[in-house]
Structure 1
Amino acid sequence: MFDQSNFKDTQEHSSDLALIIVQLGYKGVYDWLMIASGISNVEFSWNRFDKTGAKEWCRPAYEYDKERGDINQKYITELTTFNYIWGAFENLISEIFTQTQINKKGKINLSLKAMDFNDPPVYGYEYIKSEFSSCFREAVNEHLYIYPEKHFSNEELKIIYQLRNKFAHGDLRFPESMKSNSDSPPIIIELVKASSRIILCYIQGLILLNEKGGVVYSFIDNLFNNPKWEELDDDYLNSSYILSRLHLKKVPEDDFGLTLFYDYYYNLPI
């Protein structure tokens, strides 16, 4: 069982990814990710300009507006973060593929083909994908999301592309309230959050495959909580290794036996 607590949060994940890829020349992607990483909360007030006066004499109306405001603030924050991460993804596609390729095949198909229709070579991605699939199935079962296919395994990138389009075209559902008046966010918020994580992994994977053999200053003492490689020379490491691990708080113990500078992504356990 993969330890979910070993994943960095979305904002830190975005920041650390930006820190590494800017060294490889992806300045546009870096800018989008840095904005995503800096979003901590989007200020929002439901019915801010209420003219009815209902909240002054109707306690239920006040409580309803407050609850709806709180949940939509969470939703708007996650959507805002997601949109900047998606912007980073689209910027990357424009960097590594020609406009002719994009026009002919489409951004999603090009991304999938670049990985030979396999998962991104990112440690723990199977667990990340299963968490996304769980959120998505629940959203579909609760009729918060409509997807035409009955089987959607290995469809996460296409699903997220559709989610992004639903938002852009005004078709995405908004949450009404917390589940059973608890602190648990509605599944649609969890789905957006899980989508951000998936897209970050695709950015990692695409750059990893595009930059095999690259070398970066890893900031390894700050990037992970358990570095043990005393023999490293100025923290310069193979970019494939860092890109496959940077979303983790701690690297797997099995990694400590690797010759990190020379082991490329296809030799790494993912």
Structure 2
Amino acid sequence: MLVSLRDHCAKLVSILGDTQLVYDWENVATWLQLAAAMRTMEVDTIQFDHGFGYCSHADEYSMARDELLNRFVFELSRFNFAWGGLESCLNNIRPPKHPDKSKRGKISNACYFLKTYFSNVSPPSHLGEEVAAFRSASSLCFGYHSIEKRFRNSEEVGWPGAGLFSVYELRNLFAHGSLDFPEPDEENQPLSDHQHMVAHATRVVLLSIQMLLMAHFADSRLEIPYAWDLGIGLDDVPLSFALKGCHRSDGGAQGSLF
């Protein structure tokens, strides 16, 4: 079972703080700390609707849309903090360049790095499920067909990097002002898959950060104090073990430690 996104971010922050490389990873940890620390995010679009109160049907639509936008904006804000952590992580790691010059780029290089390392190493559990959930949710959201196109072109990066490769499209839609926003259904109910799409995208980003760190520290014998459930009990475990299981509610306890 997966921990909440908030706890997932918090566990990564804790791990980065215990790598004995605090200074080098402080910026990455701060991005993720902000993602973990988010509790509320409120927008009030109705305050600018001067026609509100004159038509009950229109009011239902406005209230439902406002609720959907609040959920969407919250998840999108957390996603952007997590993405900031990813980019900062890549600034530290500096993955090798893609061998094909025409395909080089910060994210393409990272995906190729993941493909190379995880060709012989199993990635963290639940990666496949989260990537599939993101793909499914995006297909149900109007205006996000380019994500499916990105998935269809992801074979070259291999399945360990396919999620990050495709989530990059969501980031680009946001960065270039091309996002489509959620709308109420035909009965003015606040039903939409937008928030779920973004939440799964955030999870894929966090799992990708874990994988990048696993590959980067592949030869490290460093052990760190690891809080299995974010509680006070700590055990010294190999860094690789902490990175592979920090997204799980059991902390990876079902796997072998050695």
Question: Shift of the alpha carbon at 1:182?
Answer: 5.4
Partner amino acid for 1:166? L
- Structure 1 CA distance for aligned equivalents of residues 150 and 129 of structure 2: 22
1:59 alignment partner in structure 2:
56
The one-character-per-residue Cα deviations of 1:217-249 (angstroms, maximum 9, x if unpaired) are: 1023x348xx9xxxxxx6111011111111111
Partner amino acid for 1:70? E
Structure 2 unaligned blocks of 5 or more: none
Aligned mate of 2:184, from 177, 187, 191:
177
2:125 alignment partner in structure 1:
123
From the superposition, tell whether residues 251 and 180 of structure 1 become closer, same or farther in structure 2 (CA, over 3 Å): farther
- Structure 2 CA distance for aligned equivalents of residues 214 and 187 of structure 1: 41
Query: Are positions 1:205 and 2:211 aligned together?
Result: yes
From the superposition, tell whether residues 36 and 95 of structure 1 become closer, same or farther in structure 2 (CA, over 3 Å): same
Identity %: 24
Partner amino acid for 1:211? F
Partner amino acid for 1:113? Y
Taking only aligned residues, the RMSD between alpha carbons, in angstroms, comes to: 2.7
Partner amino acid for 1:82? F
- Structure 2 CA distance for aligned equivalents of residues 170 and 70 of structure 1: 21
- Structure 1 CA distance for aligned equivalents of residues 85 and 186 of structure 2: 32
- Structure 2 CA distance for aligned equivalents of residues 223 and 209 of structure 1: 24
> How many pairs are equivalent?
237
Partner amino acid for 1:173? D
Partner amino acid for 2:131? K
Instruction: Check whether the contact 2:226–2:242 (CA below 8 A) recurs between aligned residues.
Output: yes
From the superposition, tell whether residues 56 and 125 of structure 1 become closer, same or farther in structure 2 (CA, over 3 Å): closer
- Structure 2 CA distance for aligned equivalents of residues 179 and 97 of structure 1: 48
1:230 alignment partner in structure 2:
none
SS in 2 for 1:216: strand
Structure-2-length-normalised TM-score: 0.81
Structure-1-length-normalised TM-score: 0.78
1:218 alignment partner in structure 2:
226
1:22 alignment partner in structure 2:
17
1:268 alignment partner in structure 2:
none
Structure 1 unaligned blocks of 5 or more: 1-5, 228-233, 264-270
**Stretch of structure 1 that moved more, 110-119 or 205-214:** 110-119
SS in 2 for 1:235: strand
Partner amino acid for 1:176? E
- Structure 2 CA distance for aligned equivalents of residues 71 and 187 of structure 1: 10
Partner amino acid for 1:66? M
- Structure 1 CA distance for aligned equivalents of residues 254 and 78 of structure 2: 33
SS in 2 for 1:12: helix
